[in-house]
Structure 1
Amino acid sequence: MRPLIGLFLIAVSMALAGSVPIKTLVFSTATSTNYVEMIPQMPMNLTAFTLCMRVAIELSGRREVILFAYRTRNYDELHVWRELDGRLSFYMAGGGVLFKVPELGALQTHLCITWDSASGLAALFLDGKRSLSKIYRKGHTVRAGGRVILGQDPDSFLGDFENNQSFVGEIFDVNMWDTVLADSMIQGIFAGKRVARGNVLDWEKTELIINGDIKVATREL
């Protein structure tokens, strides 16, 4: 009975500590073939959003890195990048908005991006800390009917990948809402609080289609 008692105590201590098992994706090498497709839970016809993820990057040399891609047949509807100079940016069917922030690296970072079409306000959060606001694509709408890709930058609907833009590192807890979350909610998500999950993309429920040599593991959040 002692092993069972030990397992029970471990489970109780984890519950009291608030730790939650969660899947994570490890992209080990730069390649033009490894990617993960996320299947949205609702059409991505968006006039506002909050997009959050936990990410760590380990790359040799300086290059741009794709963090998140949503593309329809004709447009890069929403792409998130670490730029060549270390800035973070996102692009919606045209020129992007860029933020000079501490550079992403091998240490895990909680990253969120918010945008609202009515005001054009765009902002970025790193580990719960908010950037300045910028005005970007006021009146724009993100169009439905595309594909969400982690790990690659699709230059066509689902293809034309380049290994020198691919993601290398670990990414997990990718969630997306069709509203701009309050700063306090984003800070709570960073702290691991069990707030409402994304209604567009929910990392705990959204179907993932794995392509290539990507390791899927489970860890505690």
Structure 2
Amino acid sequence: MRLQAAIFLIATSAVLAGSLAVKSAVFQKETSSSYLELVPLKSLSLSAFTLCMRVATELKGEREVILFAYRTRDFDELNLWRELDGRLAFYLSGEGVFFDVPQLGALETHLCASWDSSSGAATIFMDGKKSLTKIYKKGHNIRSGGKVIIGQDPDSYLGDFDANQSFVGEISDVNMWDHVLPASTIQDIYSGKRGPRGNVFDWENIDLKIRGSVDVITFEL
């Protein structure tokens, strides 16, 4: 789906909800200092999640790209990456789970990752299409008390950033739930239908803290 069409669909949903604008975060260049901090609506003590966003990037070649980072004082609790070889992966306090999916590009992709501790079921969705299921970190729990940022990978608590891993591109519609959404709901959200807003992060009402050179663009309706 082209960027303009995706923005229109998000805007249409916002109109139905009574909202007057949609916003998008633009990271224009590699940096070791610029990022967005996302303030959650509830504790990130999680035994399951669904994390969705719309993302576009022109970064190519063998380069890691951080898409989402949640770190506590001592651990990377949940990180979502584009790997050196283009695969997507997420990490829960240790070794990650990897998905061989189409590469991200300049045309906006609706991306979701989901995981459930009780079964270990881990999946990726791209533009409403579900990956195969992998079993990962059964019985694990994500701990609370950290910070969530977009744009950098913190190797310490909100520090030790590497420009060569930073995100360059555009991210919007970041939503997170404390449970696994049905595939049909994710497909509805991708297609622009009004779906449930995230109860951990709700992009329509999110509190964003801008650090450094990040442009948050608002599209007035």
Q: TM-score, normalised by structure 2?
A: 0.90
Q: Which residue of 2 aligns with 1:213?
A: 213
Which residue of structure 1 lines up, in the alignment, with residue 12 of structure 2? 18
Q: How many residues matched?
A: 207
Alpha-carbon shift at residue 62 of structure 1 (Å):
2.6
Structure 1 match to 2:168: 168
Query: Which is higher, the Rg of structure 1 or of structure 2?
Result: 1
Residue 72 of structure 1 deviates from its aligned partner by 0.2
Amino acid at match of 2:47: T
- The equivalent of 1:116 in structure 2 is 116
In 2: Cα distance, 1:60 partner to 1:184 partner: 31
Measured against aligned partners, the alpha-carbon deviations of 1:11-67 in whole angstroms (never above 9, x if no partner) come to xxx99x935331000000000011000011100000000000000011254300000
- Residue 71 of structure 1, CA deviation: 0.3
1:66-145 to 2 correspondences below 5 Å: 66-145=66-145
Matched with 1:148 is: 148
Q: Hey, what's the Cα distance between the residues in 1 that align with 2:113 and 2:197?
A: 15
Structure 1 ranges of 4+ moved more than 3 A = none
Q: Does 1:158 align with 2:155?
A: no
Q: Secondary structure at the match of 1:190?
A: helix
Equivalents in 1 of 2:220, 2:176: separation in Å?
21
Output one character per residue of 1:69-101: Cα deviation in whole Å (capped at 9) or x when no partner.
000000000000000000000000000000000
Decide whether the 8 Å contact of 1:117 with 1:137 is kept in 2: yes
Q: CA deviation at 1:204?
A: 1.0
Structure 1 equivalent of residue 18 of structure 2: none
The superposition leaves residues 152-182 of structure 1 with CA deviations (integer Å, 9 ceiling, x where unpaired) of 0000111100000000000010000000000
**What residue ranges of structure 1 are gaps of 5+ in the alignment?**
1-13
**Are the counterparts in 2 of residues 79 and 90 from structure 1 also a CA contact under 8 Å?**
yes
In 2, the alpha carbon distance for the partners of 1:204 and 1:159 equals: 28
Range moving further from structure 2, 107-116 or 55-64: 55-64
Taking the aligned partners of 1:210 and 1:173, their CA distance within structure 2 comes to 16
Code of the residue aligned with 1:131 in structure 2: it is S
Q: Which amino acid aligns with 2:65?
A: V
Shift in Å, 1:217: 0.7
Which position in structure 2 is the counterpart of 1:44?
44
Alignment partner of 2:201: what SS? coil
Q: What is the identity, as a one-letter code, of the residue corresponding to 2:173?
A: D
What amino acid maps onto 1:216 in structure 2?
Answer: V
TM-score for both structures, normalised by structure 1: 0.90
Q: Which runs of 5+ in 2 are unaligned?
A: 1-7, 15-20
Cα pair 1:36 1:208 within 8 Å, conserved: yes
